[in-house]
Amino acid sequence: GPVASLSRFRGALVAGVLGDCIGGEFEGAEEVPMESVLAHLSGLNDETKGNGVLEYSDDTAMARCVVQSLLTRTGFDEQDMARSTSPGRGYGSGVIQVLKKLSCPRLSDVFQPARDQFNGRGSFGNGGAMRAAPFALAFPTATDVKRCSHLGAMLTHSCSLGYNGAILQALAVHFSLQGALETPQLFINILIKEMEEVENTEAARKDARILKEADKPFCERLHRVKELMDRTNVSIEEVISELGNGIAALHSVPTAIFCVLHCLKPLECLPQTFGGLERTIAYSLALGGDTDTIACMAGAIAGAHYGIESIPLSWIKCCEGAEDADRDAERLHALYHQMLQDD
């Protein structure tokens, strides 16, 4: 569809929620056979089951806080975002302490609680990345998307391996919204080029050294994504060993990007009736590990590419918060286009 169309905004925000809700079933599972994924997905179409709603987890709860803050402040306001990010459900054990401190009215520096995590180095978890998509839906320029997703993630994740994952996820949604996935090679090359610059800081080099990672860890992973993209046969085991499926941003954001790229064309292991968005969610779940978060991030990137029409209605009906996301996407679309005019 047309670049930055309402359909793409709705697709991005709604599919992120679906990834979280549908992916929750397999979170933490070591091995997820594709048959189990397909059984789970076909259950969503079965109205006679009447198993009601699949609840969203912290991934969606925190993204909703980001959306609400961006909309009420008509832009990024760290004070408001810090105070509106409240504990909800199923949070990572570490981040709950940050959220408690952020709710304290006397707090003067809203970035301090995140810095105190993990002996002062900050978290490298994917909690910043899992709520990064809305930044791409609020700000039209890559510069603003990078700046605001960075600061937004810094409220809980002050390690560069955490917040740079959030920047990468926001950029992936941003370029997908612009239609960049029409040419997959171009898409991955743009992301590598952007991350070369993002990771070119003293802080990033220091964190990478301490954590014994490559010099520019996200760039290195994106090069692995590119190599896997060029191959005709890639097993799930290889994807997990090359890219990871864990709760670290480094082991999940590049993985989510790979899921989207790998599912642009039909796959033998998936029903021919599936469209690209269904393939992306299904494939993300089959990787196991942090399935709700990887499917949430892959869903947002894929939804921005395929648009709302690609999402089965039965899936939307099953997932808590999906209709709220659809309504919020319309508001973010208006904010984005208002910012375009103000420029």
Q: Footprint of ligand R7I on this chain (CB under 6 A)?
A: 57-59, 90, 92-95, 118, 121, 123-127, 130, 159, 247, 290, 292-293
DSSP tag of 319: B
Q: Convert residues 107-136 into a mask of x (bound to Mg ion by CB under 5 A) and - (unbound).
A: ------------------------------
* Contacts of the segment 143-148: beta carbons below 8 A, 24+ positions apart: 144/339, 145/170, 145/171, 145/174, 146/170, 146/171, 146/194, 146/198, 147/76, 148/76
Number of chain positions touching Mg ion (CB under 5 A): 6
- Selection from Mg ion, ligand R7I, none that 118 binds (CB < 5 to 8 A by kind) is ligand R7I
Q: Which residues contact 237 (CB under 8 A, 6 or more apart)?
A: none
Residue nearest to Mg ion (CB): 57
Task: Give me the least distance between CB of 244 and ligand R7I, in Å please.
Answer: 13
Task: Give me the least distance between CB of 42 and Mg ion, in Å please.
Answer: 23
Task: Give me the least distance between CB of 126 and ligand R7I, in Å please.
Answer: 5
Q: Taking CB under 5 A as the criterion, which residues in 212-271 touch Mg ion?
A: none
C-beta closer to ligand R7I: residue 190 or 300 = 300
- Selection from Mg ion, ligand R7I, none that 95 binds (CB < 5 to 8 A by kind) is ligand R7I
CB 188 within 8 A of CB 225: yes
Using the rule CB under 5 A, which residue among 10, 13, 58, 308 binds Mg ion? 58
Using the rule CB under 5 A, which residue among 144, 194, 199, 292 binds Mg ion? 292
Task: Give me the least distance between CB of 99 and ligand R7I, in Å please.
Answer: 9
For residue 102, what are the CA distances in angstroms to 22, 71, 79, 150, 176?
30, 20, 9, 17, 32
Using the rule CB under 5 A, which residue among 4, 13, 15, 59 binds Mg ion? 59
- Token pair, residue 214, equals 């490559």
For residue 184, what are the CA distances in angstroms to 72, 95, 261?
35, 35, 7
- Selection from ligand R7I, Mg ion, none that 213 binds (CB < 5 to 8 A by kind) is none
Using the rule CB under 5 A, which residue among 290, 301, 302, 322 binds Mg ion? 290
Kindly indicate which of the ranges 33-41, 214-222, 231-239, 287-295 contains the residues binding Mg ion, using the contact rule CB under 5 A: 287-295
Burial class (CB in 10 A: 0-12, 13-18, 19+), 265: exposed
3-state secondary structure of 54: strand
Q: Does 293 bind Mg ion (CB under 5 A)?
A: yes
Task: Give me the least distance between CB of 193 and ligand R7I, in Å please.
Answer: 26
C-beta closer to ligand R7I: residue 280 or 293 = 293
The torsion defined by the Cα of 267, 271, 272 and 278, in degrees rounded to 10, comes to -80
Q: How far apart are CA 207 and CA 25, in angstroms?
A: 33
Q: Kindly give the interhelix angle for 160-177 and 6-23, rounded to the nearest 10 degrees.
A: 130
CA 288-184-247 angle, 5° bins: 25
C-beta closer to ligand R7I: residue 176 or 293 = 293
